[in-house]
Structure 1
Amino acid sequence: MAVLDKRPSAEMKVRKQRAPNSPPRGAPDRHAKKAMRNSEIVYRDLRDAIVNVTLPPGAPLVEKEITERYGISRTPVREAMLKLAEERLVDVFPKSGTFVARIPVAVLQEAIVARRALEEVCVREATAKATKSQLMQLQAVIQRERELCAAGDEQAFHDADNAFHAGVAAAGGYPGIWTMIEKIRLQVERYRRLTLPQKGRMKLIVAEHAAVLDAMEHGDADAAVEAMNSHLNKLQIDIETFRDLWPDYFLFDKK
């Protein structure tokens, strides 16, 4: 019978013994994963604040203050800033600092044009295809907008506004188009949040949505498209007005 050699092989001799609490070989580093989570949290919070104009264009973003607020290292903060810079939400100036980017008017105008074209398809199809329950849901959204307008709740009104447009896309059988619109409307969202506090603005939006829905309920696709275009065109027409109100908030560039 062969005798089993119990002596450690050369390979076993050179292999390092792992610490008792170390992760399995090849497993992601927990510190790296935690840094990634921290980066995502900072990115999401800052992005929301910028889009909601809680952090207005031109506001400084001080790295040290952010790290202290979240109790984290500088690495995840810098990663979050890079993502925001890629979306043109922050500007990073070496040796000067990082600031919330101004709203680029060229990008804003293109996004409004693209959104108008996409929403025209949605509202036309929705007029032809919307079920009675879908029309009732849109009516309920408009009623909620009226209530939020009366309460002066801008954030909730903004969310209801988006729900109306998403509902039209869903009724037309194109929920994916609203997803596409969400990707291109980042600068539009910032601009829209600036317009909401203006006197009568929310009330006007309610009336414009009601006009769209009324045409849909009467099966008049051309009128529904015209009402939607009029609603969206108002954003573009008013850019000059809001530029005069907040000249430092906008960037008039050629991309």
Structure 2
Amino acid sequence: MAVSLDETPSAGGKTRKPRAKNAPPRGAASGTARRAARNSEIVYQDLRNAIINVTLPPGSPLAEKDLTEKYGISRTPVREAILRLAEENLVDVFPKSGTFVARIPVSELREAIVARKALEEVCVREATMKASKSQLMGLRAIVQREQELADKGDEQAFHEADNAFHSGIAAASGYPGIWNMIEKIRLQVERYRRLTLPQEGRMQLIVGEHAAVLEAIEKGDADAAVANMNNHLNKLQIDIGTFQDLWPDYFLFDKD
């Protein structure tokens, strides 16, 4: 008697279990799962970037129906992406009310700036002692690029160059992993920084502050380099009140 395709003996000599009638081909389920995971990752990255860049401002609604239509996918990968964003405190999910881009928590913002200052102080001190000539040249090139981008008013590219300057100092310090640590705690700081860049003269101010840090490193003056970096990061802390006044709906204030 002929053996059906679903009962074809396997390489080990064992007969495969017959596939249920109308069941999808073997491997289809895993393929569907992979596509769903890939779709979820795309939605997650797109929304995450838009939230951090403030393209999606705090308080913006995120409707599952709209997202499924936009990406042409089912609701499951959209929900998974939103859950990941909620775990990062970038999205608030209110049952029966909806899903919204989270406001920037002021207390978390202040703590992140304090933690970042402590980590960057280590990098600056070590970079002052360890930076090679080529690394210093690379940092100088970044500052020059920042100046050019500030002159053009290119906020996105300037933001990227700003991050490159700080990560470059971490690399020169011999502790590039510290920048990875900073990236994990700076989500809310990044959102806040994107609000500050459009302020008139803000980018030019940052260029000058970065230049002061680099000049002290080049001179081998670790104390001055740290002081200049602290001055640079303290501006973020000091100016929080100003931007709260400009965009009160974008921030989550402490209960007290």
1:43-65 residue CA offsets vs partner (Å, 9 max, x unmatched): 00000000000000001111111
Inter-CA distance 40–171: structure 2 relative to 1 (3 Å threshold): same
Inter-CA distance 200–22: structure 2 relative to 1 (3 Å threshold): same
User: Structure 1 stretches (4+) deviating beyond 2 angstroms?
Assistant: 11-15, 17-24
Query: 1:14 deviation in Å?
Result: 8.7
Query: 1:62, 1:98 within 8 Å by CA — same for their partners in 2?
Result: yes
* Alpha-carbon distance in structure 2 between the residues aligned to 1:172 and 1:150: 30
Q: Aligned residues, how many?
A: 244
Mapping for residues 190-209 of structure 1, pairs under 5 Å: 190-209=191-210
Mapping for residues 90-239 of structure 1, pairs under 5 Å: 90-239=91-240
Query: 1:254 deviation in Å?
Result: 5.9
Query: 1:23 deviation in Å?
Result: 3.3
1:28-86 residue CA offsets vs partner (Å, 9 max, x unmatched): 61111111110000000000000000000001111111100000000100000100001
Inter-CA distance 250–21: structure 2 relative to 1 (3 Å threshold): closer
Letter in 1 for 2:250: Y
Unaligned runs of 5+ in 2: 1-6, 8-12
User: In angstroms, what is the RMSD of aligned CA positions?
Assistant: 2.2
* Alpha-carbon distance in structure 1 between the residues aligned to 2:220 and 2:189: 30
Query: 1:198 deviation in Å?
Result: 0.2
1:144-194 residue CA offsets vs partner (Å, 9 max, x unmatched): 000000111000000000000000000000100000000000000000000
Letter in 2 for 1:62: A
* Alpha-carbon distance in structure 2 between the residues aligned to 1:41 and 1:68: 14
Query: 1:15 deviation in Å?
Result: 2.8
* Alpha-carbon distance in structure 1 between the residues aligned to 2:18 and 2:116: 59
Query: 1:103 deviation in Å?
Result: 0.1
Q: TM-score, normalised by structure 1?
A: 0.91
User: Match of 1:60, SS?
Assistant: coil
The equivalent residue for 1:15 is 17
Mapping for residues 44-59 of structure 1, pairs under 5 Å: 44-59=45-60
* Alpha-carbon distance in structure 2 between the residues aligned to 1:15 and 1:65: 42
Inter-CA distance 13–165: structure 2 relative to 1 (3 Å threshold): closer
